[in-house]
Amino acid sequence: MLPVFLVTFPFFALIAAGYGAARARILPLDAIPGLNAFVLYFALPCMLLRFGAGTPIGQLLDGSVALVWGLGALAVVAGVVAFTRNARVGWNDGAFGALVAAFPNTGFMGVPLLVAILGAQAAGPMIIAIAFDMVVTSSLCIGLSRLDGVGAGAAGGATQAARKALRGILVNPMPWSILLGVLLSAARWQLPGPLERTVAMLADAASPVALFTIGAVLARSALLAREHDASAAVAEALGTGVQPAPRAPWGDVLPVVAVKLLVHPLLIWGLGLGAIALGLPLAPAALVVMVLVASLPSASNVSMLAERFGADNGRIARIILWTTVVAFFSFPLAVGLLH
């Protein structure tokens, strides 16, 4: 257990460093979008491209992995939406709660962490998981988030959300970098030397900057929520009629944290064992990778999506924060049990 913790500790320490830097305002909050853009548009696509190009095409197109991961993600979305919707949580908040429960932080955290633990062979299942979550899981949850209301208005909102989701996929460089990596792997081509070294330099920057950015994003969400509540309280005291935004109760937060870190990995494990029992060609090593990916904390970009679509971003940010805190202890335990 100690060797696993020694491997995982630096990754969580970088998240804590980013959190502390933003909370102390050493890192200006206005600088965080720039860090996020560097990771999203440059470093992480280069890392995915390099892993994709270096992974055998059979692993990148593993239908058994895609089936198990997809069924697990859809089951989590359906379950969370069904069991968390109440008088406070409508379709919009319920859908983004489902997304934050089903969408692990595979890109920013999982790829560098699991490659460090399991080796480069872990990249194939993770690339499949990233592609499915970005294209299918995210689009489904965005569509569900538009179902508040009835009639043609709701249908129009869902259609508009589908267009936004498709546009978001098309302008996101990560799916394109995955596709290019798959094509390079299939053709057994290599990038020219100078371009390969450029890609490698950006890819090497992805892990530390991405982890630092996760912490900074979490700190920014907490700081902005606190500042908003303080200013709203002052305005209320002055009689301006501004009310503080209601804070989601723990009953709307902790169950989703439990689903993300406990139910999701157990579900993937059960589906994988079932697939193997049915004779599907699912490699046990690929199943281990998928279970560990499901054990990761929630993806930090779900908070930005929730804010964009008008969901309770404070609730989503708290879920992401607590899955990250708890995963500091639960993820090494999962690695120790499986690896």
- 191 membership: H or E segment, kind and range: none
What number is the average pLDDT over the span 274-281? Answer: 97
Q: Rounded to the nearest 10 degrees, how much is the dihedral formed by the CA atoms of 62, 63, 66, 69?
A: -100
Q: 28: which 2 tokens?
A: 């200006």
CATH number at residue 179: 1.20.1530.20
Check whether 150 has a pLDDT greater than 50. Answer: no
At residue 156, the pLDDT reads: 61
- CA 277 to CA 64: how far, in whole Å? 12
What number is the average pLDDT over the span 92-118? Answer: 94
Check whether 241 has a pLDDT greater than 80. Answer: no
How many domains are contained in the chain? 1
What number is the average pLDDT over the span 242-249? Answer: 62
12-64 tens-digit pLDDT: 999 999 999 999 999 999 999 999 999 999 999 999 999 999 999 999 999 99
**What sign for the dihedral angle of Cα 191, 197, 198, 204?**
positive
**What sign for the dihedral angle of Cα 212, 213, 218, 223?**
positive
- CA 231 to CA 8: how far, in whole Å? 39
290-338 tens-digit pLDDT: 999 999 999 988 988 888 888 888 899 999 999 999 999 999 999 999 9
What number is the average pLDDT over the span 192-221? Answer: 93
Q: Which residues make beta-bridge pairs with 104?
A: 298
At residue 48, the pLDDT reads: 93
At residue 155, the pLDDT reads: 56
Q: 212: which 2 tokens?
A: 């630092």
Q: 14: which 2 tokens?
A: 């970088």
At residue 5, the pLDDT reads: 87
CB atoms within 10 A of CB 98: 29
What percent of the chain shows pLDDT beyond 70?
Answer: 90
User: Domain range for residue 130?
Assistant: 2-338
